[in-house]
């Protein structure tokens, strides 16, 4: 609790201590024989103790021509009640109103802190080695290219490359993935991850403002500034609701008693004209108590803030409340294939028709290709995984569009596609597998072929199934890849609709067509890996970039960024958004319903001030507690 809240709490306690015996006295439960004026004076002690700031703000509001604020309403309602002789009610309303304010302030402050902590990946300091000793400095002061030391248990303050040491790294703050990642010399580490086991020396590659941690923080902190339709609706609603209720209260205080006086209908229910007016003015005061729209107004942004906070803990960054809202209405999901459904790195998946041992064949292939930087040669080297002695390779000749001819250990090797085999005059076996086929010949004889293909991500299939379960009606796969490859991948993950051999511009056209098919409140999400698909990401209703850590263009273009590249996070994000929006709707409907019912009851004279204030504060507390539920999304 902060100072303001503690202060209010003390005032509430003091007022309550005074209030309870006074109330019993005024209701005649304790017989004292105090005159009425004394009871009034005594009641003013708790009233002013707990409510003086409200009275002050109301006065200031009138001075600044801001009449319709809740301070003014509470002041009029409570003073009205006291003037009419309902001392107990008047003071109780002020007391309970302040209890509500305290709770609201505490709950909002607490969740604000919780959520901020949850997203807190801001590094506090960086260690720099000066004369053999470590010195802590502000990460903002560290220049690019400096060497920093990160000890076990510390946060990596700036992005950089490890120059010494290896460790297990906890990247959960960035990716939501709790399994540690092993890193060693030469690898890049991102700020915001936590070093778990070993001491690291890192050469920084970014300034603080450009580092991953800063960028993510910036993104998340600005997220709830983009307001959703629900938030805009509710603040517009609040602007008209209060004045309307005040005018209704005014009408309620004047019109019915006038009507009764003129027509004499129902006058029999009242002893005197004074009593008639008192009754209706009191009803009007009750009206004013209900006119504060705080419960809904606070719960809506709180729900979104909590939802965005909860999602970011899961490695899902939502760039605004409005996107969370749109995401909950997604019915069509278009995927880019490479890098989202598949891993996007090409691996050796099979070796066929080789008279040599597979390992030997791979060795020759890797050696022949070892001078090339083509992705294929990298996959070959990766598959071989052993050390390659480049001096064994001589007379390398790269024939563009065909492959490579080289001498390895004195053997003539030709490696490449079918054209290459035809060129060197070697008969080859065509392959039935889908993927890139690398044929090899050894000393003029066919030595088999290697199949290199992109692998599916392990969770792709599950993700597609979960999407359909989450109410997504249509899943489409878009790719620039060959039709045969696409067909196979589509079948494996369970997508029936796919478009192959698309150029980047075609993807935009396909998404346009799909968008045109979305009628009503159906929304389309496009999922890409951020490479070449920025235009599509921004064209779709919701652009989701995955595995986008480090890709600025994708973070810029996308509305939702998945920190790791696990497609299962997509249905999860949708479920989080649905839960959040569900809670927002519950709160709006519940709070408004209670208010309307109370207003009707108050107008009919069936609800007194006690009911009004308890309904008001109670609804607020329930709405706030319900809103905080948005934070708990890890099990969704």
- List the catalytic residues: 336
Scan for tokens 């306690």, then name that residue. 13
224 is an interface residue for other proteins by CB under 8 A: yes
The nearer residue to other proteins, 21 or 243, going by C-beta atoms, is 243
Q: How far is the CB of 97 from other proteins (least distance, A)?
A: 12
Query: Which of 11, 155, 215, 227 touches other proteins by CB under 8 A?
Result: 227
177 is an interface residue for other proteins by CB under 8 A: no
532 is an interface residue for other proteins by CB under 8 A: no
Query: Which of 293, 448, 528, 567 touches other proteins by CB under 8 A?
Result: 293
From 233-241, 262-270, 493-501, 593-601, give the range in contact with other proteins by CB under 8 A: 233-241
Which of positions 113-132 make contact with other proteins (CB under 8 A)? 115-116
Tokens read off for 543 = 């652009």
The nearer residue to other proteins, 461 or 629, going by C-beta atoms, is 629
Q: How far is the CB of 224 from other proteins (least distance, A)?
A: 5
Q: How far is the CB of 557 from other proteins (least distance, A)?
A: 20
Instruction: Find the helix or strand (DSSP H, E) in which 58 lies.
Output: helix 36-63
Q: Where are the beta strands (DSSP E) in 93-138?
A: 126-130, 133-137
Strand 160-164 and strand 200-204: the pairing is antiparallel
CA distances from 196 to 146, 205, 500 (A): 22, 21, 44
104 is an interface residue for other proteins by CB under 8 A: yes
Query: Which of 117, 131, 178, 225 touches other proteins by CB under 8 A?
Result: 225
For residues 519 and 539, what is the distance between their CA atoms, to the nearest angstrom?
16
CA distances from 492 to 245, 489, 522, 540 (A): 60, 5, 27, 26
From 86-94, 135-143, 147-155, 302-310, give the range in contact with other proteins by CB under 8 A: 302-310
Is residue 220 within 8 Å of 308, Cβ to Cβ? yes
- CA 488, chain centre distance (Å): 34
Query: Which of 25, 276, 297, 580 touches other proteins by CB under 8 A?
Result: 297
For residues 596 and 210, what is the distance between their CA atoms, to the nearest angstrom?
51
100 is an interface residue for other proteins by CB under 8 A: no
Which residues are CB-neighbours of 8 under 8 A, at least 6 positions away? Answer: 98, 101, 102, 105
Please count the residues of this chain forming the interface with other proteins, following the rule CB under 8 A: 32
239 is an interface residue for other proteins by CB under 8 A: yes
Tokens read off for 326 = 């749109």
Q: How far is the CB of 8 from other proteins (least distance, A)?
A: 10
Site string for other proteins, 64-83 (x = CB under 8 A): x-x--xx-------------
Tokens read off for 232 = 């805009």
Q: How far is the CB of 35 from other proteins (least distance, A)?
A: 37
First to last CA, the chain: 32
Site string for other proteins, 386-425 (x = CB under 8 A): ----------------------------------------
For residues 516 and 417, what is the distance between their CA atoms, to the nearest angstrom?
42
481 is an interface residue for other proteins by CB under 8 A: no
582 is an interface residue for other proteins by CB under 8 A: no
62 is an interface residue for other proteins by CB under 8 A: no
Query: Which of 9, 16, 105, 488 touches other proteins by CB under 8 A?
Result: 105
Q: Edge to edge, what strands does the sheet with 316-318 contain?
A: 316-318, 560-562, 542-546, 523-528, 330-336, 474-478, 497-499
Q: What are phi and psi of 628, to 5 degrees?
A: -65, -25
222 is an interface residue for other proteins by CB under 8 A: yes
Strand 445-456 and strand 474-478: the pairing is unpaired
163 is an interface residue for other proteins by CB under 8 A: no
305 is an interface residue for other proteins by CB under 8 A: yes
Tokens read off for 587 = 């709160």
3-class secondary-structure state, position 617: helix
57 is an interface residue for other proteins by CB under 8 A: yes
Tokens read off for 343 = 């891993």
Which residues are CB-neighbours of 42 under 8 A, at least 6 positions away? Answer: 18, 22, 34
Interacting residues with other proteins (CB under 8 A): 56-57, 60-61, 64, 66, 69-70, 101, 104-105, 108, 112, 115-116, 221-222, 224-225, 227, 235, 238-239, 293-294, 297-298, 300-302, 304-305
């Amino acid at each position: 609790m902060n100072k303001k809240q503690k202060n209010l709490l003390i005032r509430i306690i003091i007022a309550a201590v005074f209030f309870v015996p006074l109330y019993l006295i005024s209701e005649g439960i304790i017989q004292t024989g105090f005159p009425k004026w004394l009871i009034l004076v005594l009641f003013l002690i708790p009233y002013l103790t707990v409510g003086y700031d409200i009275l002050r703000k109301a006065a200031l509001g009138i001075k600044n021509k801001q009449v319709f604020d809740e301070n003014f309403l509470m002041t009029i309602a409570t003073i009205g009640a006291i003037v009419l002789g309902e001392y107990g009610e008047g003071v109780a309303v002020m007391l309970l109103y302040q209890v509500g304010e305290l709770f609201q302030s505490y709950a909002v402050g607490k969740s604000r802190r919780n959520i901020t902590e949850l997203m807190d990946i801001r590094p506090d300091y960086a260690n720099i080695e000066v004369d053999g000793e470590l010195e802590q400095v502000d990460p903002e002061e560290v220049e690019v290219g400096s060497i920093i030391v990160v000890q076990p248990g510390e946060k990596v303050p700036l992005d950089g490359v490890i120059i010494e040491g290896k460790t297990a790294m906890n990247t959960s703050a960035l990716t939501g993935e709790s399994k540690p990642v092993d890193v060693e010399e030469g690898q890049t580490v991102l700020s915001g991850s936590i070093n778990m086991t070993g001491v690291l020396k890192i050469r920084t590659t970014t300034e603080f403002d450009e580092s991953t941690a800063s960028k993510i923080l910036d993104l998340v902190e600005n997220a709830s500034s983009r307001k959703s339709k629900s938030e805009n609706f509710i603040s517009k609603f609040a602007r008209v609701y209060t004045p309307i209720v005040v005018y209704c209260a005014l009408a309620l205080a004047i019109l019915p008693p006038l009507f009764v006086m003129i027509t004499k209908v129902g006058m029999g229910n009242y002893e005197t004209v004074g009593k008639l007016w008192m009754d209706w003015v009191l009803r009007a005061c009750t009206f004013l108590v209900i006119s504060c729209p705080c419960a809904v107004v606070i719960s809506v942004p709180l729900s979104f803030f909590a939802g965005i906070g909860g999602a970011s803990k899961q490695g899902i960054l939502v760039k605004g409340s409005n996107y969370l809202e749109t995401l909950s209405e997604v019915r069509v999901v278009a995927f880019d294939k490479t890098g989202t459904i598949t891993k996007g790195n090409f691996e050796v998946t099979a070796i066929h028709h080789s008279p040599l041992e597979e390992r030997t064949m791979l060795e020759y292939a890797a050696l022949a290709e070892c001078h090339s930087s083509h992705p294929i040669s990298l996959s070959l080297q990766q598959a071989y995984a052993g050390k390659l002695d480049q001096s064994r390779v001589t007379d390398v000749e790269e024939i563009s569009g065909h492959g490579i001819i080289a001498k390895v250990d004195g053997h003539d090797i030709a490696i490449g596609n079918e054209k290459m085999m035809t060129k060197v005059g070697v008969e080859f076996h065509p392959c039935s597998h889908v993927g890139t086929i690398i044929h090899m010949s050894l000393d003029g004889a066919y030595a088999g072929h290697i199949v290199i293909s992109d692998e599916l991500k392990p969770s792709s299939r599950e993700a597609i199934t979960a999407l359909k379960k989450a109410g997504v009606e249509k899943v489409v796969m878009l790719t620039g890849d060959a039709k045969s490859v696409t067909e196979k991948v589509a079948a494996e993950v369970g997508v029936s609709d796919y478009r192959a051999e698309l150029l980047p511009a075609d993807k935009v056209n396909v998404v346009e067509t799909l968008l045109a098919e979305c009628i009503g409140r159906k929304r389309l999400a496009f999922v890409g890996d951020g490479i070449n698909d920025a235009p599509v990401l921004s064209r779709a209703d919701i652009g989701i970039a995955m595995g986008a850590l480090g890709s600025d263009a994708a973070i810029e273009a996308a509305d939702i960024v998945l920190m790791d590249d696990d497609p299962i996070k997509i249905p999860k994000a949708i479920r989080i958004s649905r839960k959040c929006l569900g809670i927002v709707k519950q709160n709006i409907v519940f709070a408004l319903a209670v208010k309307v019912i109370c207003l009707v009851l108050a107008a009919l004279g069936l609800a007194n001030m006690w009911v009004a204030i308890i309904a008001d504060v109670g609804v607020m507390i329930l709405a706030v507690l319900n809103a905080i539920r948005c934070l708990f999304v890890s099990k969704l």
